[in-house]
Amino acid sequence: MITYRTEKNHMTFREQLTQKVKNAFTALGYDEKFGTVTVSNRPDLCQYQCNGALPAAKVYKKKPLDIASEVAEILKKDSMFSKAEACPPGFLNLSVSDEALTDFVRGMTNKEKFGFEETKTPKTIVIDYGGANVAKSLHVGHLRSAIIGETVKRILRYCGNTVIGDVHLGDWGLQMGIVISGIIEQFGIENLKTEEDRAKHITISVLEKTYPAKSKEAKENEEVMAECKRVTFELQKGEGIYFDIWQKVLEVSKADLKRNYGRLGVTFDLWKGESDTRNVTGKMIEDLKAKGLAHTDDGALVMDITREEDNPPLPPFILEKSDGAVLYSTTDLATILLREKEINPDEIIYVVDNRQGTHFKQLFRAVEISGLMKENLKLFFAGFGTMNGSDGKPYKTREGGVMRLEDLLNTLESEAYKKVEAAITSGEITDDEMKEIARKVGIGALKFADLSNHRSKDYVFDIDKFCSFEGKTGPYIQYSAVRIASILNKTDSTDGVILPPEGDIQRELFLFLTEFPYAVLQSAEDFAPNTLAEYIYQLAVLLNRYYHEYKVLSETDEEKKASRIATLSFASKLLSQLLDLLGIEIPERM
């Protein structure tokens, strides 16, 4: 066995190759920066390539092919490479020896996180996602935030950061004044005075009906709207009967939200909300005024934040409405102050609908101008596109209303139930078990469909396609994982010795397995899990091909059999670890 694994503990396979090629470049007197190795874009010719001889030729005034040939000569003597070939005009085509590849894969199997190297500079990161509004039903708009945010949280944690997920409830704006007014109208303020009274009347079904009805009324009637605004303002004083009612509303609403997010497998470390800024906004506004950064405009208190380079100009940042109420912008700015005080994060990432892009531009600019936060605090807007219906417009119910998340999940689970029921034809299974499988499949289908698109793009909700067991879908991947698990369940030992690849498919699988860190890192960098989703899908495809090509349980050569089992076992552990980053569960059977 060759012993090349000396330089660094957790180098990826490709980093090790790069190191070798860099060494060859420097041995010849060239800069090491030309030695970067990438995966070949001509897999028919070679597995990897290095194109550094082309730019090097310009620097050293030589022919690129000559430089590539010199480097190739050195690499040919290295047992890690089975091929090192210079090709016109100056490419370096590389393939690795099966021994080196196998040795690396074996090493991965018993390392923590399969050798994935955590960041050397871990950060404290707050992810602001979910963003549900109290007393309004969760709708599909909140769905993407929850799914993407949860995954980004898991990925950044996997990379070694301290990540805190905050749901940042919408619990302090006008919608609260609307709900409170609606509740008072229904039950009378006299009947809401005690804790028991409030507990009796303020239930989730009341809340669900109250907001839509009262908000419709307020939109149509100026006086009603004025009253709702007054209640909002009074509430924001933080005491009195409106505040008491609000507390109950918050409690009831939170319990319901937790249940719904739970169904999605989404959990938050913090259940803070806009309202938590209520003791901070006053002082913040005073500070901004004292700094001469806020002025009155048409009765409202605003910050001018636009700069010459802004095209179109950024609208002023509103801190206080003319009626004295604070709003979304105020609470968002104050929330950053609070997070600094309580968590002191290096970064805050907002996973919010693209349509709020301007708000976040304004917010980030206001932070910059205010000078109230530490200078090196990084703020990111990870915006996402809309989930559309087949008409290309944001997804609605059949009646044209906003689709409640709960209804959507029910629909998904019952569609998945049909598919699972049709697929599971043998063995005994209870209806509860079937339902549990359908839940995992339905949610997995939705999550994979959502996450396999770049977050910034819109996508079309197509339940039939999402739930299909074939094609690039969650259920296809889950099905592959279940198949492998069922093979492994029938064996006693999974820790046999992995032998060098028996053929092309296994070689391809090994090479692909060594690449997984890049999929995770790329997704982490851009807060875009689609790269990881694509990797997972490709891995499932390769595994399918692998176990179709090589029989496992019926193989009579014991060494081969043990090696195939060990290969599948490793790959399936990696697959489930990566699926977990996407928040997708693997059902017991399918």
**DSSP result, 213-268:** HHHHHHHH-HHHHHHHHHHHHHHTTT-SHHHHHHHHHHHHHHHHHHHHHHHTT---
Q: Any residues with CB less than 8 A from the CB of 526 and at least 6 apart, and which?
A: none
Closest by alpha carbon to 325, among 272, 277, 253, 373? 277
Residue with tokens 């599948």: 568
Q: Kindly give, in sequence order, each residue whose CB lies less than 8 Å from that of residue 77, ignoring residues fewer than 6 positions away.
A: none
User: In the complex, what is the shortest distance from the CB of residue 582 to ligand ARG, in angstroms, rounded to a whole number?
Assistant: 22
Min dist. Cβ of residue 165 to ligand ARG (A): 12
First-to-last alpha carbon distance for the chain, in angstroms, is 41
Q: Report, in Å, the least distance between residue 524 CB and ligand ARG.
A: 21
Which strands sit side by side in the sheet containing 48-50, from one edge to the other?
Answer: 38-39, 48-50, 91-96, 81-87
State the nearest-atom distance from the C-beta of 257 to ligand ARG, in Å: 12
Residue among 351 and 513 whose Cβ is closer to ligand ARG: 351
For ligand ARG, which is the closer residue by CB, 52 or 130? 130
With CB atoms as reference, the residue minimizing the distance to ligand ARG is 131
CB of 142 to ligand ARG, least distance (A): 6
Min separation Cβ 530 and ligand ARG, Å: 21
- Residue closer to ligand ARG, measured from CB, 85 or 332: 332
| Neighbouring C-beta atoms of residue 26, cutoff 10 Å | 14
Least Å distance, CB 490 to ligand ARG, is 48
Q: Which residue lies nearer to ligand ARG by CB, 319 or 481? A: 319
Of residues 81 and 350, the one with the C-beta less far from ligand ARG: 350
Type of residue found at 283: K
Provide the 8-state DSSP code for 47.
S
Q: How far is the CB of 163 from ligand ARG (least distance, A)?
A: 16
C-beta closer to ligand ARG: residue 131 or 182: 131
Task: State the nearest-atom distance from the C-beta of 209 to ligand ARG, in Å.
Answer: 20
Say if strands 300-303 and 317-320 run parallel, antiparallel, or are unpaired.
Answer: antiparallel
The residues binding ligand ARG (CB under 6 A) are 128, 131, 133, 168, 170, 332, 350, 352
- The residue (of 252 and 438) whose beta carbon lies closer to ligand ARG is 252
How many helices (H) and strands (E) are present in the chain, helices listed first? 21, 13
Query: C-beta of 130: minimal distance to ligand ARG in Å?
Result: 8
Q: Minimum distance from CB of 117 to ligand ARG (Å)?
A: 32
Reading the block at residue 228, the tokens are 């709702």
Nearest distance, CB of residue 141 and ligand ARG, angstroms: 7
* Category of 325 on φ-ψ map: left (φ > 0), alpha (ψ -120 to 50) or beta: beta
Distances (CA, A) of 439 to 24, 264, 385, 436: 54, 9, 25, 5
Q: Please give the backbone phi and psi of residue 372, each rounded to the nearest 5 degrees, phi first.
A: -90, -20
Q: Which runs of E-coded beta strand occur in 374-433?
A: 378-384, 387-388
Cβ-based nearer residue to ligand ARG, 343 or 429: 343
As a 3-state breakdown, the chain gives helix, strand, coil percent values, each rounded to 5, of: 55, 10, 35
Task: Using the minimum distance from each CB to ligand ARG, give the nearer residue, 133 or 210.
Answer: 133
Q: For residues 183 and 351, which CB has a smaller minimum distance to ligand ARG in the complex? A: 351
The smaller minimum CB distance to ligand ARG, of residues 140 and 445, is found at: 140
Tokens read off for 146: 């929850």
Nearest C-alpha neighbor of 85 from the set 65, 69, 74: 69
Q: Locate 42 and state its tokens.
A: 């001509």
What is the DSSP code (8-state) at residue 174? H
Q: Please state, in angstroms and rounded to a whole number, the distance separating the CA atoms of residues 278 and 327.
A: 11
Contact at 8 Å (CB) between 124 and 344? Answer: yes
Answer yes or no: are the C-beta atoms of 437 and 590 closer than 8 Å: yes
Residue 252: CB minimum distance to ligand ARG, A: 18
Specify the residue, 345 or 587, whose C-beta has the smaller distance to ligand ARG.
345
- Say whether the peptide bond before residue 517 is cis (omega within 30 degrees of 0): no
Q: Closest CB to ligand ARG among 170 and 444?
A: 170
With H, G, I as helix, E, B as strand and everything else as coil, classify residue 130. Answer: coil
